[in-house]
Amino acid sequence: MKRDQDRTSLKRILDLCQEVQQLSDALADGPSPGHRRRLRARHANLLKTLLEVFSGQTESDALPGLFRELGRHHGLDAREMLLLFLLLERRIAGTDAIMEGRELLQLLSESSFDVLQNAALLHGEARLVASGLIRAHLPHSDAALEGEFRISERFYRRVYRRFHERGSPERSTQDVPAYENAVDHYLDLRHLVNLYQKRAALLFPQGYWLDLHPEVSERPEDLDEAIVQVRQVVERREELTSDKLSLPLVALRGEFGLESDEEVIILALLFQELFASSPLLESAELLRLVASSDQDVFKKRSLLTAKSRLLETGIIALDVELDDKQLLAGAYLPEWVSERLLHQVDSPAVIRQDERREFHDYLEGLDSSEDFYRNL
């Protein structure tokens, strides 16, 4: 069912992107003023519809799962998702897969001012380019309009494999089991954090993570893909898990509205406390852990500033030695956070009160012991 929904969503979005391209071509042909107004009105409506899909303003399954997770993982906004899909549609359509920046931005924009403003989405340090989702050839750093852009072959092949369900090195999310307990959940999450650590070891070899993973055979882009896939498995298993089993991290996420990067930082500190000699990790190392590029380190800095959610709520504390150098401080989980995350891990299984009542009512309804054994 989920696969059918994803295919339906993908078809709708690609059809809309194709129509955006066709309208742009029609406008370039110099239509009459009246026809031009109608074309521009239709173009504006298409953009509005697509941006609503990408911003989550429509039904939850309007965006295929792969793209939904990629958007969260790379922090893409609605306009960036639209540019990604426009390039993907161009690659699939068989026309020239390479687009000039100005041509691409005109599909997204309704005026010259919009083109200039949206050009920032195609800068070399922008998320789409820095993440490797699209490839850019820029004559110089200020040439977003004159530069050439295309969907990355790696990303295109990933979409193709997912669509045709060709072999993937990671587990499918279609046949994963629910979590049986909190430890089961944490084992998956430790695997996820391990992938983040390996990526950081490759991207930032001057840092701490290379000491943990001195010989990483994967490429950063392979680890990016593995991170997304493992996240999908975890999310699916969480969805399947009964409400009667409270997973500590899920509960903490719900209470504080935690985002994925914040969860990874919390988990890294939790596993540091459990498996390393010191519970402290330098704040800067935690930023590198969740960053997917050099540019991303600067953007992730807000995760551990004084006004960040993690510090303001007290979920993370800093052992500050230099008041003006917060990123050099050691970060750790306060006792209340560790206890909350681990309180169910070593507790014996108990029968909940509501389950006791349900079983009592069931026994009350039996006519005899023969009924009981027959139902077994």
What does the pLDDT look like over 34-44, one tens digit per residue? 888 899 899 99
What does the pLDDT look like over 49-100, one tens digit per residue? 999 888 876 665 577 878 888 888 888 999 999 999 999 999 998 767 889 9
The three-state secondary structure class of 317 is: strand
What does the pLDDT look like over 133-142, one tens digit per residue? 898 888 888 8
CA-CA-CA-CA torsion for 79, 82, 84, 86, nearest 10 degrees?
Answer: -140
3-state secondary structure 330-345: EEECCHHHHHHHHCCC
Structure-token match 């500590």, residue found = 248
Q: CA 271 to CA 356: how far, in whole Å?
A: 35
User: Is pTM, for the whole model, over 0.75?
Assistant: no
What does the pLDDT look like over 278-320, one tens digit per residue? 889 999 999 999 998 888 898 899 999 889 999 999 999 998 7
Contacts of 345 (CB under 8 A, 6+ apart): 182, 183, 186
Domain range annotation of the chain: 2-164, 182-342
